[in-house]
Amino acid sequence: MMMNNIFWDDLAGPGSTELDMGTDPQWGNNHGTATVYNSIIRDGSWDYIENRVFSYNPIFEDNAHHLSENSPGVGMGKKSIVFDEVFYQAPLYDIDGKLRPNTVDTLIDIGAFESPYPANKFVYPKSLEIADDISYLNPVSDYLELISDIYNPENHSVNVFARIVSVDEAVRDSVELFDDGEHNDGESGDLMFGGALDPINEENTFKMSLGIKDNDTGRYMLFNDSKRITTIGPIKVANYALKDVFLNRKYLNLSLKNDSQTAAAKNITIRLTTRDTSSVLSIDPQNNEDIEISALQTVDIERSHYINFRSAPSDTVHFMVSIYSNNYLFWTDSLDVVTSLENDNQKVPKIFSLDQNVPNPFNPVTSINYQLPKASEVKLSAYNVLGQRVVTLVNERQNVGTYKVEWDASEFASGIYYYRLDAGNFTDVKKMVLLR
């Protein structure tokens, strides 16, 4: 059967269901919204927890298990529920292994998340954390390092396992975690367990779960965690443009690129923030939700935000860009916005970059594109295989923007050539082939 554990206000987490306590008479009290986390209960014992979250909010008396007397959760519990036309009674025992008080009369600890296992009897995890708190992994090269803090007051012999599951519930990999001081787990015997999963080699979004086998009792427990990680992307800001609206109010147009090889990034939401309050009065999101970006594609988002600049902003304002998928924060980027662009709505590159010439090989004309996020002294030259400069294509100061230069190599012999861009402190070199 399934029972509900209620979290209040900011204790809510992703993937939860909101209820209005004021409009549903079965709850009896009016305390605003709550978030329901589901638990699976079998034979009167708590066997399985979904979206398991500990909180140390002041509404709890001493820890995540007991409500304080002034908690709005007091009195919000239910003694029983009917699920699929079957009547179920609430669990008989509380976190301490003692009989619950009568839920109808007192409801002391109903409404808070209770650990499924009495503290004097069973083993359970306090947390499951990702090392360095990362949310994006390169599917080819990044290992997923996990750490779990286990509650084991009687020092039972345990085996701890972590597994990674795709959002369609397919298990992709699993690993045993160890408390030996050699797996990024602190010191041996400190009840911190650590381990690492190999690179996933799949572009997808995943969730994690933790299994604990108590060898002393023979009990196996499985805990699903509410965190998500992704191997899609990363999603990055490619360029931007500002468009005047009125006085110091401007539209921000953003371009986002998905660097995935095969997977689309879906239900994208963008959050833009800055610490430069001397330059920015406010940021108002506009067309910044429900965005989809196919693999290796760039999407232009018109009017993603309104920005209200102050009357004399800095020439360049630094913004932080948080990029969510299905309300999970997976990618972060930054953006230095030039506030005094000469051309309204001009696309501005985010970084210096030099593109591969097109076509390549070529005969005899090819095009070279490059991007300047700020005004710079620019030199673009071509060299032969001996490192000798054969032509200088650009040698001047250029403003912010994207540039295209053509090279007509009619007077040069077939072979391999190199072209080099110097712009401020940026330098890049690429190879091209002239075939006649």
Phi, psi of 324 (to 5 degrees): -110, 155
- Residue 430, judged by CB atoms within 10 A of its CB (0-12, 13-18, 19+), counts as middle
CA distance 407 to 367: 6
Cα torsion at 332, 336, 339, 345 (round to 10°)? -60
The torsion angles phi and psi of 133, rounded to 5 degrees, stand at: 55, 40
Average pLDDT for the chain: 76
Is 68 a residue whose pLDDT tops 60? Answer: no
| Domain residue ranges in the chain | 2-89, 124-229, 235-347, 353-434
pLDDT tens for residues 223-245?
A: 777 678 999 999 999 888 888 88
- For residues 140 and 259, give the distance between their C-alpha atoms in angstroms, rounded to a whole number: 13
Greater confidence (333 vs 112) lies with 333
**Confidence at 176, pLDDT banded by 50, 70, 90:** very high
Q: What is the pTM of this model?
A: 0.62
**How far is it, in rounded angstroms, from Cα 421 to Cα 287?**
36
- Whether residue 113 is predicted with pLDDT greater than 90 in this model: the reply is no
Distance CA 282, CA 34 (A): 30
124-229 and 235-347: identical CATH topology: yes
How far CA 389 is from CA of 137, 371, 377, 420, in Å, comes to 41, 22, 19, 10
Q: What is the mean pLDDT of residues 353-379?
A: 93
Q: What per-residue confidence (pLDDT) applies to 155? A: 87
**380 backbone dihedrals φ, ψ, rounded to 5°:** -125, 120
Q: Distance (Å, rounded) from C-alpha 428 to C-alpha 112?
A: 58
Q: Please determine, looking at this structure, whether the domain spanning 235-347 carries the CATH number 2.60.40.420.
A: no
CATH class of 124-229: mainly beta
Please check whether the domain covering 353-434 is classified as CATH 3.40.30.10. Answer: no
Closest alpha carbon to 193 in 230, 155, 148, 255: 148
Asked if residue 190 lies in contact with residue 242, where contact means CB atoms within 8 angstroms, the answer is no
**Integer CA distances (angstroms), 261 to 139, 140, 228, 235, in order:** 11, 11, 20, 12
Q: What angle do CA 129, 130, 135 make, to 5 degrees?
A: 130
pLDDT above 80: residue 104: no
Q: Is the pLDDT confidence value at 411 over 90?
A: yes
Residue 316 near residue 373 (C-beta atoms within 8 A): no
Instruction: Give one DSSP letter per residue of 384-410, joined into a string.
Output: -TTS-EEEEEEEEEE-SEEEEEEEE-T
Residue-wise pLDDT tens digits, 128-152: 888 888 899 999 999 999 999 888 8
Does the pLDDT of residue 100 top 60, yes or no? no
Nearest to 115 by CA among 100, 104, 125: 125
Interval 92-101 mean pLDDT: 50
How far is residue 225's CA from residue 208's CA, in Å, rounded to a whole number? 6
CB within 8 Å of 130: residues ≥ 6 apart = 144, 145, 146, 147, 227, 229
Phi, psi (degrees; rounded to nearest 5) at 55: -135, 145
What does the pLDDT read at residue 392? 96
pLDDT score of 402: 87
Task: Pick 35 or 309 by higher pLDDT.
Answer: 309
The whole-number average pLDDT for the span 64-68 is 43
Note the pLDDT of residue 220: 81
Question: Model confidence over 290-328: pLDDT tens digits?
Answer: 899 999 999 989 888 999 998 888 888 999 999 999 888
Q: What is the CA radius of gyration of the chain?
A: 29
